[in-house]
Structure 1
Amino acid sequence: MQLTSVVAAALLARHAAAQNMLRFACSQLVVDRVDPIVNPGMQYTPHLHQIVGGNSFNITMDPDNHDLTASTCTSCSFKEDKSNYWTAVMFFQHKNGSYKRVPQVGNGGPQGQLVNKGGLDVYYIPSGKVTAFKKGFRMIAGSAANTDPKKVSASNICHRCWKSTDDNQFTGGAPCTGSDTVDIPADTSCKMIRQTLIFPTCWDGKNLDSPDHQSHVAYSSGSGATGGGNCPATHPVKLPQIMYEVMWNISTFLDKSTWAAKPFVYSMNIGGAAAHGDYVFGWEGDTLQKAMDNRCNLNNDCTAAGIHKQQPDVYNACTKKQQAPETVDGWLQALPMGEMARRA
């Protein structure tokens, strides 16, 4: 039985390596307490986010007036992708009550290593004919307020224990399979934690957003990072499947004598059940549609779609000043929630 599981995992990994999809690096644009989807116009939102993508990102981002393609640079490797992607931030909680932000690294795997300066990796996975997102489209995966792991689909939001600091040493099978968990692993054998967030692949075909930022989209009949299955009649339009992967390097926090009861939490002071991601579409023109139609693959130039891979020194240099200025690095007295963060 154990051998069968190993073989199955290897086959899943091989399938992922062979599947045509965009897979690219996005370095950190900024770590900031703003959220133009959930809290538009608010400075010092309830929790901290790490944001990547186009540098026109701002507190408001009014979908009627804001044009992401006006960004002068993007922290993602494809020059034509001015979208914004963001997630909550993972912190280590010391038993003395102080917190420190967990750093991120790039992600390897069977498709090859990606170079990140912080940030995350983004996938666009097609399954058959898909319709690219429209200008102004936005959505959320997961819930920042959820505390119950049973309310999370483990095939869409999960964490993996990575027992090496070598991100290119692939661990396990396809995302959100095997021993992956909704909860954040708390195990000294884990040197890194890979967070996976998979977004819905079905759209109602009408609304670019919805009051809860989720009702206009739906998950398909498929499971995991497969590009999605059949869409329900209520949401008949098949979208490219977006997936985020974040590699949290916890290797400097493995002295268990320093651990709080929950040593690793997200910036809402909640565990993996509250993991979530936000997305605002901003590809130039019809480049994403062409990339999907022409089966553009991985982190490569694709002349058929007119998309161009930037070198790491170019996208790493695309950054933005905090719009809610505060200290987010080093040891903090408390999580950045409510009042401005202060050093411990």
Structure 2
Amino acid sequence: MGRASPKFGGGGSRRVNVAGWLAVAVFRTVVLAVVVFLAACTTAEEGQFIGIERVRVSAGAVALGPDASTGSFTSVCGRNEERHLNADNAVISPGVRFGAHHTHEYVGNLSTDAFSTSESLAAAVSTCAGGDLSAYFWPVLRLTDVVGHDDHAEGGGVHGNTGEVLPPDSVAVVFGGSPTSAVVPMPRFLRMITGNPSAATSDGLNANAKWGCTGFEGRTTMKYPRCPAGSKVVRTFDFPNCWDGRNADSASHRDHVAFASADGVCPKATFPVPALRLVVTYDVPEGRPFAVDSFPDEHRDPITDHAMFVNAFPAALMAQVAACLNEGRACG
């Protein structure tokens, strides 16, 4: 009897409550700062975008010579309805799981991953019609105002590439000829890259990003395009079209192939092969921000856009491709 009941809300309690409130406020401020920082690191910057109307129309096609190979061959491969995605790179980082440091989208050979070999590709199945077992792949495009999830990578995106993966609306795989001469067949299991995933930190070395919008053909930019309503975002990947005649790959994954010069002539000691072009379109919701996956240090810069190709056409089918181009026919 006589012991006073504890009084809640006294001076000591107020001091504790104030201290607790301050701790919570500081914690919230730190969390907000981290969120803002991460968003800045994983979302494309305003300066990386350009309205497609401001992009100049590129120069016209090279004039055709009398020996030009004017045909085309289309390989119908779908648009990755199977959602074949992984963070591997069978060309640059063979044998290394998650070696790409970002997620790739695929069409073609359904077995393609870090451990693919010429033998495994030849024994697999493909999304392409007509026997084309080749592997075609490029970094995914993501909507960056939402959090996405990648089934192949624990914790969602790989190395900071967050956001919802946006599936392609269409994928075109087309081989063209040479404006100056006939082409020779590609060797089976030829490996190629176009563009440079490190272009932002290497002053644009080997950059070959081509962004555009449907309805604005002939206008491409190395920035993310702002397309008007009803127009879709387009990524165009043009691959080297001259081969050294000996090697299916090289240490740099570039030295065994080259691009023809502006007049369409291949460098000395190289031979024209079918010119591969991939055209990938996306129906980006109007007003939504988007960005391509990249290495962490590249900060999702659009100039880093790139694609890979492993030729797994059976030799007889590739010979048909070359004949189609040289004879000026539209095939596939």
Query: C-alpha displacement at 1:95, in angstroms?
Result: 8.0
The match for 1:168 is none
Pairing partner for 1:161 from 213, 216, 226: 213
Q: Tell me the residue number matched to 1:212.
A: 252
Unaligned runs of 5+ in 1: 1-7, 107-119, 163-170, 224-228, 301-344
RMSD (Å), alpha carbons: 3.0
TM-score by length of 2: 0.65
CA-CA distance at 1:105 after TM superposition: 1.2
Shift of the alpha carbon at 1:198?
0.4
CA distance in structure 1 between the aligned counterparts of 2:111 and 2:293, rounded to whole angstroms: 26
Could you tell me which residue of structure 2 aligns to residue 289 of structure 1? 319
Q: Distance in 1 between matches of 2:120 and 2:320?
A: 20
- 1:89 — aligned with what? 140
TM-score, normalising length from structure 1? 0.63
Equivalent residue of 1:264, what SS? strand
Determine if the alignment matches structure 1 residue 61 to structure 2 residue 88. Answer: no
Matched, 1:142 2:195: yes
In the aligned structure 2, how far is the partner of 1:84 from the partner of 1:103? 18
1:99 aligned onto 2:130: no
Q: Report what 2:15 is aligned to.
A: none
1:38/1:240 Cα in 2 relative to 1: closer, same or farther (>3 Å)? same
Is contact 1:143-1:274 (8 Å) kept? Answer: yes
Q: CA deviation at 1:183?
A: 1.3
Distance 1:222 1:25, change over 3 A: farther
4+ aligned runs moved over 4 Å, structure 1 = 95-98, 187-190, 296-299
Secondary structure, in 3 states, of the residue corresponding to 1:247? strand
Greater radius of gyration (CA): 2
Which of 69, 72, 75 aligns to 1:21? It is 72
Instruction: Give the whole-Å Cα distance in 2 for the aligned partners of 1:39 and 1:149.
Output: 20
Return the alpha-carbon distance in structure 2 between the equivalents of residues 184 and 148 of structure 1.
18
1:100, distance to aligned residue in structure 2 (A): 1.2
Q: Pick from 152, 172, 186 the counterpart of residue 216 of structure 2.
A: 172
Task: Return 5+ residue gaps in structure 2 as ranges.
Answer: 1-56, 65-69, 148-159
Q: Which residue in the other structure is 1:182 paired with?
A: 222
SS at match of 2:303: helix
Structure 2 residue 233 is matched with structure 1 residue 193 = yes
1:40 counterpart letter in structure 2: P
The aligned counterpart of 1:74 is 126
The yes-or-no answer on 1:50 pairing with 2:105 is yes
Larger helix proportion of the pair: 2
- Equivalent in the alignment of 1:304: none
Q: CA deviation at 1:148?
A: 6.8
Q: Deviations over 1:111-155 (max 9, x none)?
A: xxxxxxxxx21111112311111123111111111117973778x
**Matches of 1:187 and 1:135, distance apart in 2:** 38
Rounded to whole Å, the distance in 1 between the matches of 2:312 and 2:306 is 20
CA distance in 2: counterparts of 1:296 and 1:288, whole angstroms: 16
Structure 1 residue 75 displacement after superposition:
0.5
In 2, the alpha carbon distance for the partners of 1:139 and 1:21 equals: 20
Whether contact under 8 Å (1:24, 1:298) holds in the other structure is no
Report the secondary structure of 2:322's partner residue: helix
Sort the Cα spacing of 1:100 and 1:191 in 2 relative to 1 into closer, same or farther, 3 A: farther
For residues 241 and 215 of structure 1, what CA distance do their matches in structure 2 show? Answer: 17
Tell me which of 230, 234, 240 is aligned to 2:274.
Answer: 240
Q: What's the offset of the Cα at 1:34?
A: 1.3
